Amino acid sequence: MNFRIVRAIYAKEMLDMLRDRRALISMIVVPLVAMPGIFAVMHYFTENLSKKAQEESTRVGATAKISQPAIREALKNAGFELVPVSNPRTAVESKAVAAALDEDRGPANEDRVVIFVDRTREASSMAAEKITSALERLKLDQVKGSLRGLGVSERVLNPFSVTSSNVAPEKKMAGFILGSVLGYTVLLLMFTGGMYPAIDMTAGEKERHTLEPLLASPASREEIILGKILTTTTASFLTALLTIGSLLVSMQNLGLGQGGPEMENLVSRAAPDAGTVFLVLLTLLPTALFAASVMTAIALFARGFKEAQSMLTPVIMAVVIPAVVSLLPGLELNVGLALIPVFNVSQLIKEIILGEYSRLSFLTAFLSNVVYAGLAFWISVRIFKTESVLFRS
Amino acid sequence: MIQIQDLTKIFRDKKRGERAVVDHISFEVRDSEIFGLLGPNGAGKTTTLRMLATLLKPTSGRATVNGNDVTTAPAEVRRRIGFLSGDMGLYHRLTPREILRVFGRLNGLTEERLRARITEMVDMLHMEDFADTKVDQLSTGMRQRAALARTLLHDPPVLILDEPTSGLDVPTSRVIEEFILQAKRAGKCILYSTHVMEEAEFLCDRIAVINDGRIRIIGTMSELKAATGRERLREIFLDLLDNKVAGRVAP
């Protein structure tokens, strides 16, 4: 292996790639524009939708059977607008009201208020929850009134109280969210960012007949493939870098969009320190190499650009699955799990950001990705030496 | 020089089974010689040249370039050849100068020698006006000159040219022909495939007509005429394709 030749090929491929508009879009524009875009849209919708749901949820129906004036009073005090309805079910189904109240007899022959709710609608669920709590308060007040009438202290209702205190520091809470989102997004975009360069340098070269002079030059097959894989690795890693940067910036400026202002505050305070970012990037380095080698090996099989694209799209979908699995809370990386490509990285990133990774699983994940990348490189070279694949048309 | 002995290439595919695309061909090309490989499409010309350029491995037989075997010393062979095919294989997003730089480095030229050679090539092939324009904005003629410059850049002793004038207009073809003749005068060994009769007749010292993977006839133009009784290469060629003549002149 002559590294001067590898460098010459790398330099050529980089120059070629940086002039390829398609590659630049998936590598640079997507992470820089799409990321803040997704956040802005998410933010806009959740904000607006919840505002809208809030407004809608105040309109509830009540049948004539709701006998106790106290109930109507309590609901009005809780901010509800009561609309008389004859059929509570259809009133909710037709969205005329967010929820509706009816009354019948319970198992102990007590008065029972029935809330009709459509759980698939946020406004309806919200209304039902608020009605329940308003009525629970009313019930409590009534019990307290009765107890007072009997001369019993209302303290019997509350012999002790229960509260929980979250020991996870705020940074950890935010890290959990950041880590989950980051690992998954970065991995996905690393694969899409490297996809066009990988295809262009393999199937694309076949299609444009530029491979022959290259193969007839003194460069060996290994040197050519290594130069190409390193270029795709650069593309993937660059995408990762831009994604992380843009994700951090959008998080701080736009919030997560979910979980309300409290969570937004948390996340905006969760900027990972330089050490954490460095560790994440270190984890992503062999991952970029792995992504590049796998995609190069696959794209080499294709006759042309389009075929390569349809071969690689399922691969990218397959990448998403293990990355999504690591979104599940409660999973912890052990040596066995650290051997699963893609999954190990998204999980490791989450743990690094939480500050809870173990050195052993870090090393296992790092080294296994290097080994997988080496394996994919070896396979690529084998494919590259197979005439029937290289010259088929 | 190029020496080929019983060179054979069998392609296997599911639909058509085994096919001998090149079937026990033998010939040699000396230094300072232009050897033409003449044949219709699918005759085996490109496969032969690809085996010589070490892109394909021979199924059997031997081929050497200046004594280096294409199977056992492919890297040595590649260092000694300049390979050019009809579709040129230029990178569209790069300029001719950038392409020359890449291939000079792949061929192990020092940076100093590379700069000198690029200047030489640009002068020789009159590429001053377009050496720094991206290939996708160049005309076919300009592209072919750039491709030729890439082929000659490292001054290889052996040139393997696969239909280098295909798709070119007459003036550009003329430029290419001039260069091939000049390379011959410089002592290079040139293997040249074409299906253009006049070009072969004008350029080649010796010609081999190949069809269905076999060499039908081989010799100088006058040997070919004597063996077939025909005056024009076109007639000799058409006769051979019809299998009316199965003559063979010793190389």
- Tally Cβ neighbours within 10 Å of residue B137: 10
**A217 CA: distance to closest CA in chain B (Å):** 6
Contacts of A387 by beta carbon, 8 Å cutoff, 6+ apart: B55, B56, B57
Average pLDDT in the A341-366 region? 86
- CA torsion, ordered A316, A319, A324, A327, to nearest 10 deg: -130
Residue A192 lies in a domain: yes
Domain locations along chain B: 2-241
The reported pLDDT for the residue numbered B122 is 96
Q: What residues of A are in contact with residue B84 (Cβ under 8 Å)?
A: 213
Residues A78 and A147 in one domain: yes
Residue A228 inside a domain? The answer is: yes
Indicate the residue of B54, B89, B134 with minimum beta-carbon distance to A213.
B89
- The neighbouring-strand residues paired with B63 are B4
Identity of the residue in A5, A215, A388 whose CB atom sits nearest the CB atom of B55: A215
Which of B97, B105, B148, B152 would you mutate first to test chain A, the one with the most A CBs within 10 A? B105
Chain A CB within 8 Å of residue B75 CB: yes
**H and E: helices and strands count for chain A:** 16, 4
- State whether residue B249 sits within 8 Å of chain A by CB: no
Instruction: Check whether residue A185 and residue A87 sit in a common domain.
Output: no
B14 in helix, strand or coil? coil
Contact flag B53-A12 (C-beta cutoff 8 Å): no
pLDDT in 10s for each residue of chain B, 251 residues: 999 999 999 998 778 788 899 999 999 999 999 999 998 888 999 999 999 999 999 999 999 999 999 999 999 999 999 999 878 889 999 999 999 999 999 999 999 999 999 999 999 999 999 999 999 999 988 998 999 999 999 999 999 999 888 878 888 888 888 989 999 999 999 999 988 888 888 999 999 999 999 999 999 988 988 888 888 888 888 888 876 444 445 44
- Report yes or no: B100 at the A interface, CB cutoff 8 Å: no
**A140 is a domain residue:** yes
Strand pairing class (A111-117; A59-62):
unpaired
Decide: residue B202, CB within 10 A, 0-12 exposed, 13-18 middle, 19+ buried.
middle
The range of the structural domain enclosing residue A66 comes to: 54-156
Going from the C-alpha of B67 to that of each of A216, B63, B72, B74, the distances in angstroms are 17, 9, 11, 11
| A129 within a domain of the structure (yes/no) | yes
How far is it, in rounded angstroms, from Cα B245 to Cα B147?
Answer: 38
Establish if B226 touches chain A: CB-CB under 8 angstroms.
no
B85–A209 C-beta distance less than 8 A: yes
Burial A339-374 (b: 16+ CB within 10 A, else e): bbbbbbbbbbbbbbbbbebeeebbebbbebbeebbe
Do residue A259 and residue A122 come from a single domain? no
Please give the C-alpha separations between residue A358 and each of A163, A201, A328, A364, B75, in angstroms, as whole numbers.
33, 38, 19, 10, 47
Q: Which of A298, A305, A300 is nearest to A391 (CA)?
A: A300
What's the whole-model pTM score? Answer: 0.82
Q: A375 and A257, same structural domain?
A: yes
Q: Which long-range contacts (CB under 8 A, 24 or more apart) does A65-69 make?
A: A65/A102, A65/A103, A65/A104, A66/A101, A66/A102, A66/A103, A66/A113, A67/A103, A67/A111, A68/A111
| Residue at A45 is within a domain | no
Domain end point (choices A106, A131, A156)? A156
Chain A: closest CA distance from residue B61 (Å): 18
Q: Are residues A34 and A59 part of one domain?
A: no
pLDDT score, position B251: 44
Is residue A162 in some structural domain?
A: no
Q: Does B79 touch chain A (CB under 8 A)?
A: yes
What is the fold, at CATH topology level, of the domain defined by B2-241? Answer: Rossmann fold (3.40.50)
In this complex, the residue of A211, A217, A390 whose CB is nearest that of residue B107 is A217
Model confidence at A247: pLDDT above 50 = yes
**Whether residue A136 sits in one domain with residue A101:** yes
Q: Which residues of A touch B98 (CB under 8 A)?
A: 12, 15
Domain boundary among A121, A156, A191: A156
Q: How confident is the model at residue A261 (pLDDT cuts 50, 70, 90)?
A: low
A331 and A366 belong to one structural domain: yes
Q: How confident is the model at residue A69 (pLDDT cuts 50, 70, 90)?
A: confident
CATH number at residue A61: 3.40.190.10
Structurally, how many domains does chain A consist of?
A: 2
Identify the contact set of chain A against chain B, taking CB-CB distances under 8 A.
Answer: 4-5, 8-9, 11-12, 15-16, 19-20, 208-220, 387-388, 390-391
Q: Calculate the dihedral angle through the C-alpha atoms of A188, A193, A195, A201, rounding to the nearest 10 degrees.
A: -160
Query: Quick check: A376 pLDDT over 80?
Result: yes
Q: How far is B241 from chain A (nearest CA, A)?
A: 26
